[in-house]
Structures are given as structure tokens and as C-alpha cells.
Amino acid sequence: MRTVIAITGASGCIYGIRLLQELPGEKILVMSQMAKKIIVHETGMAIEDIEKMADTVYDDSDLFAKIASGSYRFDTMFVCPCSTSSLAKISNGLADTLITRAAAVALKESRKLVLVVRETPKSAVVLENELRLARCGVCILDANPGFYSKPKTVDDIVNFIVGRCLDQIGIDHDLYKRWE
């Protein structure tokens, strides 16, 4: 399994980091410049340590990267977290960064695309962008944790969202207690 993980400039970068830790197979990482700033601010982690979790790392400005081409095969792309700016660009076909170009490739090649949108409240514009993409088969997976598993820590909440991401691609896990 080959997975692209894009981390954009929205609060909640820990979701993308934990996804990198949990995903099996080959992992390709792209982080926006704002994501890198938010990662340091929210987690205190070094960008180099995050990059070590991936098999391949591309700069968001590298439109010559393999994942920018439909002829390069990957199975799934997660944008986690997905800023509303990235959501808008993807929804409107703007492919001016590697993240938005790879998402456009996922769409045109009918590959699994999961956007973990981290925003609340949402304007009508954001909701319309999400609806447009959902109608194209994109999974909009808001970072809204369930509380039936009785989370006790922030890690429990993060694990719930990452577990739901893994569910989207059929990966077994024990990150949270399922509803019974």
C-alpha cells in the first residue's frame, strides 16, 4: 500500500503525525510551509523527526514530484488536517502546490481521497466546497471525535480521529473502542 499524507496549515497537525505513525506500507509526506510552523507551535516536535516517519518527503512547491503525475500510482491520499484554504483550492480545481496537485490527481484518477477538515464553525462557502467534493466521491472526515468511547486524554481523542481515517481504507486497529 502506498499512501500520500499531506499536512496543511490548520490546527490539529497531531492528527497527521499520528496517522504517519499508524499507517502501514509506503508513506509519502508533503507538508505546507504553514503546517511546519503549526507543528512546531502545537507539538514542539522538530520537522526532521516528522520527516523520518515517512519513506519519501516532498516539498510542497515541488510540482515535479512523482505524486504530481497521474501515471505515478498511489492508493490513497489523506489531507490531515485539511485547512479550509486547501479545501477550497481542491474543490475548485486549483493545483498550484504539490498538495493540491496530488489531490487533483487523486480525483482525476478515481483514487481514495480523505480530507480531515479541522474548522468550526463552518461558513456556507466551506460547506458548499465540502459538498462539491463529497459528490465527487471524496471522503470528508471532520475532526469531530466521538465520546462513546469515553476518552480521558487528548491522545484518546486524536486516536479516535486517526482510527476513523484507518477505517476508511480498511486497516484494522485498536485505537479506540468501537460502539457495541
pLDDT at 48: 98
pLDDT at 179: 84
- Which amino acid would we find at residue 111? R
Residue 176 within any structural domain of the chain: no
pLDDT tens-digit readout, 145-170: 999 989 999 999 999 999 999 999 99
> What's the grid cell of residue 172?
484494522
User: Given the C-alpha cell 466546497, which residue does it identify?
Assistant: 129
Residue 61: give the domain boundaries: 2-168
Helices (H), 23-148: 33-43, 47-51, 84-91, 98-108, 124-135
HSE, CB side, 13 Å, CA atoms: give it for residue 1: 14
Specify whether the CB–CB gap between 175 and 166 falls below 8 A.
Answer: yes
pLDDT at 149: 87
Low-confidence ranges of the chain (pLDDT < 70): none
Residue 177 within any structural domain of the chain: no
Q: How many domains does the chain have?
A: 1
The Cα 60–Cα 107 span in angstroms is 18
What mean pLDDT value characterizes the chain?
97
pLDDT tens-digit readout, 50-68: 999 999 999 999 999 999 9
Q: Residues near 28 by Cβ (< 8 Å), separated by ≥ 6? A: 2, 3, 4, 5, 54, 55, 56, 57, 58, 67, 74
Beta bridge partners of 29: 5, 57
Residue 173 within any structural domain of the chain: no
Residue 148 within any structural domain of the chain: yes
pLDDT at 90: 98
Residue 180 within any structural domain of the chain: no
Residue 130 within any structural domain of the chain: yes
Cis amide leading into 121 (omega within 30) = yes
Q: What is the CATH number of the domain that holds 27?
A: 3.40.50.1950
Residue 179 within any structural domain of the chain: no
pLDDT at 142: 95
Beta bridge partners of 78: 5, 114
pLDDT at 180: 80
The Cα 68–Cα 155 span in angstroms is 33
CB count in 10 Å sphere of residue 69? 14
Residue 135 within any structural domain of the chain: yes
